[in-house]
Amino acid sequence: MTIQYRSGRHSSGSVLGFLLALILGAFTMAVFLRHASTGFSARIANAIASRPVAFNMSVPVVVNKIQRLNRLETVVYSIDTVVEGSRPSTVLPDLLAGDRILLVVHGQSIAGIDLSKLKPEDVRITANNGIRAIRVALPASEIFVTSIDNQHTRVYARSTGLLVAADQNLESETRARAQQQLQQSALSDGILDAARKNARATITTLLYGLGFQQVEVD
């Protein structure tokens, strides 16, 4: 009886060669996909490695993602100013019965858009010829808060008549008036327009990131 060892060695060598070729091919493919970034090779790499992406374009999903931003603060308006408060006498001159204060005031107004007010009917989604488009009508911009920075607000001057004591409420009333003036200054300088412009840019970036190819934010 004759045993043909030669045939067995040939079979093992073929399997080993096939495995080595498979490993080498996989390594070559990985290197190609990693470094093919331009031209024809890039198109081939993209065709091989790309996977279809599923987009959820339903209005409730989009509204929910936008509403998560909640109160989107987009503008901070700061100002330093001098505000005067006075308590004059209707009879005697200020030298005798007047009370006057000057405050150096530092404060800020913060404006933006409350996106929790966005409603489903404010969002319209279309898909034509594979182009995903969306149009969003944002709620109105608003001032969220106007505040005086007490640490950087100080009394610059205070004068009280010879016949009266200083009014303890005058400073707090002057601070309240300064807060109103600050908010009015912010409105006059266009803080609401700036807040809306910045919010539109933020939401536009978000929607492109969600996969929409045409975005319009009003």
Q: What is the DSSP string of 72-121?
A: EEEEEEEEEEEEEEE---SSS-HHHH-EEEEEEEEEEEEEEEEGGG--GG
Residue 213: DSSP 8-state: S
Which of 113-117, 164-168, 202-206 has the lowest average pLDDT? Answer: 164-168
Residue 140: DSSP 8-state: P
Neighbour-count burial of 160, counting CB atoms closer than 10 A to its CB (0-12 exposed, 13-18 middle, 19+ buried)? middle
Q: Which residues contact 106 (CB under 8 A, 6 or more apart)?
A: 78, 79, 80, 148, 149, 152, 153
Q: How many angstroms separate the CA atoms of 6 and 110, rounded?
A: 86
**What pLDDT is attached to residue 4?**
41
pLDDT at 115 over 90: yes
C-alpha 110, offset from chain centre:
14
**pTM tops 0.75:** no
Number of residues written out for the chain: 218
Residue 138: DSSP 8-state: P
Beta bridge partners of 132: 127
Q: How many angstroms separate the CA atoms of 139 and 117, rounded?
A: 6
The arithmetic mean of pLDDT across residues 86-106, rounded, is 82
pLDDT at 89 over 70: yes
The arithmetic mean of pLDDT across residues 97-112, rounded, is 90
Parallel, antiparallel or unpaired: strands 99-114 and 141-148 = antiparallel
The arithmetic mean of pLDDT across residues 145-171, rounded, is 85
